[in-house]
């Protein structure tokens, strides 16, 4: 196998991070590690004491509701992915009390060949309100935090249509990131069945098969990497691909997703992508070229504001955004779909 270049280290800064510094790093649209950003959280202090201490800390208040959990057999080596034939996912789902999951997680930590197990993306405020109150990120006071808990697991490389700050609470986590323009070189998988909500990369970055996925070598040349310890955080810009590996038997992450600048009532870009596949992908090449130009003009403003030549009262759905305009668009789409 051809040797790939080592990923470049992700840029770093040391906490405290002021709102102005945070705004600057976001405007650069590059990932950044913020060392020690959550170091003072009581949960991080407990995690640094021991695995049992952080488990006790999480369970100090009764969880308000069940949580969803996933588990994969030891033979999957911690990778939540597909079966070899891509007909189903390689893990099972269940639900139960967080306290039970934490007890099982501590038991698994003593096993030489433990199954992979995880609780993923649970809203903290509705699950553990005291945790949410005592472990806050001042940089994003209005963004609801979510919690991720597991053992030695590997999350397939994927993207989110949001900006993301992820704070490592317990255990170490390794993040490998790729810019959005590397999508073709990451070989995304199916839309219909995915372990992460959006299509994931079919390439295992820990053991890439370059005969099957040769363009991954180019993605690897653009990769960047960082390992977070408890208290550290990472900023992941909108749409950046990232794979995450948990390196310890008890691993906890709190993350914050948000999509700033989107007008109230806007449609889902991901849903629009699905509709675009339906409408454009299988047209003859000459017709696709026509619609590529239409999208460039009306959607991506390639030649400036497409409504600039119209009086305000006539701009309609290509005028300035508003909830009323978006409602009108939805009505037109419903009529078009019958």
3-state secondary structure string across 42-74: HHHHHHHHCHHHHHHHHCCCCCCCCEEEEEECH
Q: Per-residue pLDDT for 39 more than 70?
A: yes
Q: Kindly state whether residues 223 and 328 are assigned to the same domain.
A: no
In a domain, 194, yes or no: yes
Q: Residue 337: which H helix or E strand, with range?
A: helix 323-337
Q: Kindly state whether residues 235 and 293 are assigned to the same domain.
A: no
Q: Per-residue pLDDT for 18 more than 90?
A: yes
Q: Kindly state whether residues 109 and 209 are assigned to the same domain.
A: yes
Q: Kindly state whether residues 158 and 109 are assigned to the same domain.
A: yes
Structural domain tally of the chain? 2
Q: Kindly state whether residues 67 and 133 are assigned to the same domain.
A: yes
Q: Per-residue pLDDT for 2 more than 90?
A: no
Q: Name the domain boundary from 258, 279, 310.
A: 258
Q: Kindly state whether residues 173 and 310 are assigned to the same domain.
A: no
The pLDDT score that the predictor gives to residue 3 is: 82
Query: Helices 51-58 & 98-109, crossing angle to 10 degrees?
Result: 170
Per-residue pLDDT reduced to its tens digit, 175-209: 999 999 999 999 999 999 999 789 999 999 999 99
Q: Kindly state whether residues 213 and 319 are assigned to the same domain.
A: no
In a domain, 231, yes or no: yes
In a domain, 264, yes or no: no
The pLDDT score that the predictor gives to residue 150 is: 98
Percent of the chain exceeding pLDDT 70 equals 99
The pLDDT score that the predictor gives to residue 94 is: 97
Global pTM?
0.95
Residue 194's domain comprises 8-258
Q: Per-residue pLDDT for 1 more than 50?
A: no
Per-residue pLDDT reduced to its tens digit, 232-250: 999 999 999 999 999 999 9
The pLDDT score that the predictor gives to residue 289 is: 97
Q: Kindly state whether residues 187 and 319 are assigned to the same domain.
A: no
Residues 298-320, mean pLDDT to the nearest whole number = 95
Q: Kindly state whether residues 105 and 228 are assigned to the same domain.
A: yes
Question: The domain spanning residue 107 has which CATH number?
Answer: 2.60.120.650
In a domain, 3, yes or no: no
Per-residue pLDDT reduced to its tens digit, 325-338: 999 999 988 998 87
């Amino acid at each position: 196998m051809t040797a790939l270049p080592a990923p470049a280290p992700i840029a770093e800064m040391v906490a405290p991070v002021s709102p102005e510094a945070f705004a600057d790093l976001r405007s650069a649209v590059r990932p950044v590690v913020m060392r020690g950003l959550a170091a003072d959280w009581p949960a991080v202090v407990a995690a640094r004491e021991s695995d049992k201490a952080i488990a006790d800390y999480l369970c100090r208040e009764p969880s308000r509701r069940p949580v969803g959990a996933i588990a994969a057999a030891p033979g999957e080596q911690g990778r939540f992915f597909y079966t070899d034939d891509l007909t189903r996912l390689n893990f099972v789902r269940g639900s139960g009390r967080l306290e039970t999951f934490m007890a099982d997680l501590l038991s698994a930590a003593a096993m030489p060949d433990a199954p992979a197990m995880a609780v993923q993306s649970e809203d903290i405020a509705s699950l553990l309100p005291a945790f949410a109150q005592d472990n806050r990120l001042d940089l994003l006071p209005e963004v609801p935090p979510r919690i991720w808990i597991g053992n030695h697991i590997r999350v397939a490389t994927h993207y989110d249509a949001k900006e993301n700050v992820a704070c490592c609470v317990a255990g170490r986590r390794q993040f490998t990131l790729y810019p959005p323009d590397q999508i073709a070189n990451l070989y995304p998988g199916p839309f219909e069945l995915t372990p992460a909500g959006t299509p994931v990369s079919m390439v295992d970055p820990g053991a890439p098969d370059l005969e099957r996925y040769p363009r991954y070598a180019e993605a690897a040349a653009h990769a960047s990497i960082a390992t977070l310890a408890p208290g550290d955080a990472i900023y992941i810009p909108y749409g950046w691909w990232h794979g995450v590996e948990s390196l310890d038997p008890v691993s906890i992450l709190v993350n914050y997703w948000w999509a700033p600048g989107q007008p109230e009532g806007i449609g889902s870009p991901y849903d629009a992508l699905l509709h675009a596949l339906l409408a454009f992908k299988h047209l003859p090449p000459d017709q696709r070229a026509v619609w590529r130009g239409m999208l460039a003009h009306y959607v991506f403003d390639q030649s400036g504001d497409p409504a600039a030549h119209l009086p305000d009262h006539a701009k309609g759905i290509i005028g300035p955004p508003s909830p009323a305009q978006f409602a009108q668009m939805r009505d037109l789409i419903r009529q078009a779909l019958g």
